[in-house]
């Protein structure tokens, strides 16, 4: 039974990926997660304890990473761990540099030594974002793997730096590493600071829906299960040194997304008035990218992957998951989910993931 080392596996995409691969493969997963505010042990509920082990450590802790590689002897490392919220990167860029840049460099150094020490079939898959490319004009062609990097936010710049490090460790040292750059993910288990879950939960509770600027920022939306399938394809069949863009073929404006959410919730949980009336436009975020779009031709042609879930179906599944799993998000609202992370977890008031943060009119965008 092959072992995967997954970093950031208590986060949104990482947790969904672990559920996906354990359901469809005879693998075991070692999950390395620092359990910062967005790491949620509740998202790992239901996993086979005999095939999943959660190891709490920082990816920037070199000795811990090396010890884990030596003890668990994984066949591959899939690297999700990252600070990922753009608004937070504007408030505190240093945390993003430490985790996304320094943390990735520590992982690469440890993985390189591990690969050289007698694990020639080892693979390293680095999961990144389309935000490294900057933004597009309304008539520009979608991002391809050859689009020059032009990050706008501290978050995007830190991910661009980590991509460059992975590429350099392959080119210079030969480490068998691949990179994926995905469009905006949505689906179950997403922390409620991102656009879709924030608007969904606020709409359920009759609270204001703060939308940045005019709401016409456009994104390509990718259902998280489709993304997990793509990463699995890259892990099994991707070429070392290759970058693969992963998109959902579902370009929508933020306002269109909020409207669709409001209408879905009105049908499932009728209220006293249409939820669209809760929308409030707030000051735009500094440096807010206007449009992203992904050309996923390479992964389609080389690895036979295409998105299977269209946006309307995926959004309906997402709404239904949150309606059916109220205990999951209520524990985030109250801060109780941090109890599972242990006594050394960050303080909820300091990190701002309690109820007040999720309900403020500070705007939301992707």
Task: Name the residues annotated as catalytic.
Answer: 130-131, 155
Distances (CA, A) of 103 to 30, 60, 62, 161, 331: 18, 4, 9, 11, 29
Phi first, then psi: give them for residue 189, nearest 5 degrees. Answer: 70, 20
Instruction: Read off the tokens for 295.
Output: 């050309």
Distances (CA, A) of 154 to 86, 97, 258, 286, 301: 7, 8, 26, 11, 33
Q: How many CB atoms lie within 10 A of CB 270?
A: 10
Distances (CA, A) of 318 to 225, 309, 323, 362: 11, 12, 9, 23
Instruction: List, in sequence order, the alpha helices (H) in the chain.
Output: 12-24, 62-72, 86-91, 93-96, 103-116, 154-173, 195-204, 224-237, 254-268, 297-303, 311-324, 326-334, 348-351, 355-359
Distances (CA, A) of 197 to 54, 100, 253, 290, 346: 25, 24, 16, 21, 22
Residues 265, 203 contacting (CB under 8 angstroms): yes
Residue 295, SS3?
coil
Dist CA 32 CA 46 (whole Å): 18
Closest CA to 125 of 243, 212, 19, 252: 243
């Amino acid at each position: 039974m092959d072992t995967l080392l997954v970093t950031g596996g208590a986060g949104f995409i990482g947790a969904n990926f672990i559920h996906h691969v354990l359901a469809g493969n005879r693998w075991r997963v070692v999950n390395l997660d620092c359990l910062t505010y967005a790491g949620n042990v509740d998202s790992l509920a239901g996993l086979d304890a005999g095939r999943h082990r959660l190891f709490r450590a920082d990816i920037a802790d070199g000795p811990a990473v090396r010890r884990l590689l030596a003890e668990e002897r994984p066949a591959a490392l899939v690297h999700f761990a990252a600070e990922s919220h753009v608004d937070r990167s504007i408030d505190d860029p240093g945390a993003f540099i430490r985790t996304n840049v320094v943390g990735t460099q520590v992982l690469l150094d440890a993985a390189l030594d591990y690969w050289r020490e007698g694990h020639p079939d080892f693979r390293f898959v680095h999961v990144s974002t389309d935000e490294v490319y900057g933004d597009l004009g309304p008539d520009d062609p979608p991002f391809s793997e050859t689009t020059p990097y032009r990050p706008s936010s501290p978050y995007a710049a830190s991910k661009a730096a980590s991509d460059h490090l992975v590429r350099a460790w392959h080119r210079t040292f030969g480490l068998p590493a691949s990179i994926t750059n995905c469009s905006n993910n949505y689906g179950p288990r997403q922390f409620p600071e991102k656009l879709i879950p924030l608007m969904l939960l606020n709409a359920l509770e009759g609270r204001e829906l703060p939308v940045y600027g005019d709401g016409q920022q456009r994104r390509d939306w990718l259902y998280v299960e489709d993304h997990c399938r793509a990463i699995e394809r890259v892990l099994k069949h991707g070429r070392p040194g290759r970058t693969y863009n992963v998109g959902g073929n579902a370009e929508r404006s933020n306002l269109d997304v909020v409207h669709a959410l409001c209408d879905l919730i009105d049908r499932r949980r009728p209220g006293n008035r249409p939820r669209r009336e809760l929308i409030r436009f707030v000051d735009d975020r500094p440096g807010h990218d206007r449009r992203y779009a992904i050309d996923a031709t390479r992964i389609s042609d080389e690895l036979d992957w295409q998105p299977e879930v269209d946006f309307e179906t995926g959004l309906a599944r997402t709404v239904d998951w949150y309606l059916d799993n109220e205990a999951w998000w209520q524990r985030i609202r109250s801060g109780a989910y941090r109890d599972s992370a242990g006594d050394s977890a960050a303080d909820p008031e300091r990190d701002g993931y309690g109820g007040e943060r999720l309900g403020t009119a500070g705007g939301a965008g992707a």
